[in-house]
Amino acid sequence: MAEQGSQTLTHEWQKVCSYLEKEQGNKLALRLLKRVAVKGMEANEVCLSVPTTCIHEFIKQNYADQLLSLWKQENPSVEKLKFKLASQLNTPFQAPQQQEMLPLEVKEDEKTFFKEEPQQPISKPISSKPFLKTLTELQKSKPIIVEQQTAKPIVSELQLSIDGETVPCILNPVNTFETFVVGKSNEFAYAAARKVAEDDSVSFNPLYIHAPAGLGKTHLMHATAWRIKELYPEKTVLYLSSEQFFQHFVKALRYNNTESFHNLFRNVDVLMVDDIQFIFGKKATQEEFFHTFNALVSKGKKVILSSDTNPLDLQIDDRLKTRIAQGLVVNIQPTSFELRLGILNEKIKTIKTSVPSDVLEFLSQNITASVRELEGALKRVVARAELIGTPINVETTREILRDILQIYEKQITIADILEVTADYYGLKISDLKSVRRERRIARPRQMAMYLSKLLTSLSLPDIGMHFERDHTTILHAIRTIEDLVAKDEQLQDDLERLRVHLKEGNNV
């Protein structure tokens, strides 16, 4: 790469960044652009060194065209900009290691951005997605599907001087925003986590994510930590479980070293505590957490918490409950059938064994409690096939997972469907059987007919008898709902809620 006129090019780059700042007023963009270095120009193409994949993607997706246009105004000889990772140019930097899949000739691995530990390889490339999607864009789009990977956790350590021990911050490099599968049930939590990670300051603090086990809370927590360290490497991020917080606090008391405990936990830039509900049964620990929480929030530091419970339902001091509620509380809802199927379709890309589509649909239809359990069920089926040669089909899958399916199975009757549907829409069962054609009654009636075909083994004429209709009316209702579900997200959500309630007995 030719280095002629590098000082001139650097000066031009600084002016271009200044112009962009005036146009956009985006402090995050300016912060990231300052970390980009000009390496030279060859054949009217300027080469720019970018320290991390995240920054590379940010610039490519949001500012590449504007930067080129502004640079052409400053220097008409510039015809093209080429962004290359610093690792290609032998420039030291720190970032999670992974093989690059972005365009613009980005090919070499990155290094881990935690100085304390050596690089940890990831078995396969991780797909990369633009990370500035708005919530509106997410709502309009289908679930974002990216490949899930397995890798050993990378450990970052922040020194805690209690009996010569350290506090490990264990983050799985696979748990990034790019590997999080987004659907309607989790898009708000996803958008909130990215907002907290990507903006230097946010209007809500703390961020409180709650959901049952296995729906992605920890994945989002890890992803947030990775992104903060990627964009703001100078910041101190401490991620730990509530049990770790408790253990270190007890040890500090035992060794009469609470000052060191306070120095660490009350001076980080970002404190992230997973499964916070386990702290609150311990009065002294709860009190210590309250003071730690207050100290950080009062200094404008970020606090991110996860739990399986809404904060209003936690058995905690009202002071802390109020402070948590002042932030942003987001809930991850149970996954939809489409989201579960999407997760499995991407999961099978990481395994060698072929899994028929009807088996994936069967798993998505029947294993609904958590993504973790869904993936575990798939692993059992695949392992049986690989170890003893069992063919993979719906029948063998049902047999292999008999113990799990017994938990889910519930004999559903038309009477159950009528009762649940009527209750959900605020109607009477007699309304669903009536001949009234008002939309507020006709659509729930069609939903009940559709669910009757989906969740029972009855024939169309048998279903018709329960609704006092002939089989052609039932068939028309089924086809109508099938057409509407494909384009109406609200109806899709209603249908999923009703189905889950009927199969699992949960509240709708």
Domain ranges of the chain: 6-89, 151-331, 338-408, 414-504
Question: What burial letters (b/e) apply to 429-457, b meaning 16+ CB within 10 Å?
Answer: eebbbbeeeeeebbbbbbbbbbbbbbbbe
* CA angle at 233 for the pair 137 and 271, rounded to the nearest 5°: 80
Residues 265/210, Cβ–Cβ less than 8 Å: no
Instruction: Find out if CATH 1.10.1750.10 is the number for domain 414-504.
Output: yes
Q: What is the pLDDT of residues 56-74, one digit of tens each?
A: 766 776 778 888 888 888 8
Q: Is the pLDDT of residue 221 over 70?
A: yes
Length of the chain: 508
Residue with tokens 């890798």: 151
The verdict on pTM exceeding 0.85 is: no
What's residue 163's pLDDT?
A: 41
The DSSP line for 99-136 is ----STT--SPPPPS-TTS-----SS------S---HH
Pairing of strands 165-171, 154-162: antiparallel
The DSSP line for 438-496 is -HHHHHHHHHHHHHHHHHS---HHHHHHHHT--HHHHHHHHHHHHHHHTT-HHHHHHHH
What's residue 223's pLDDT?
A: 92
Q: What is the pLDDT of residues 273-288, one digit of tens each?
A: 988 877 766 678 778 8
The CATH number of the structural domain formed by 151-331 is 3.40.50.300
Count other Cβ atoms within 10 Å, centred on residue 399: 11
Nearest CA to 33 out of 75, 63, 53 is that of: 63
Q: How many angstroms separate the CA atoms of 234 and 119, rounded?
A: 19
Q: What is the pLDDT of residues 304-316, one digit of tens each?
A: 999 888 887 777 7
The CATH number of the structural domain formed by 338-408 is 1.10.8
What's residue 167's pLDDT?
A: 64
Q: Is the pLDDT of residue 409 over 80?
A: no
Q: Is the pLDDT of residue 27 over 70?
A: no
Q: How confident is the model at residue 377 (pLDDT cuts 50, 70, 90)?
A: very high
Q: Which CATH number fits domain 6-89: 3.40.50.300, 3.40.830.10, 3.30.300.180, 1.10.10.10?
A: 3.30.300.180
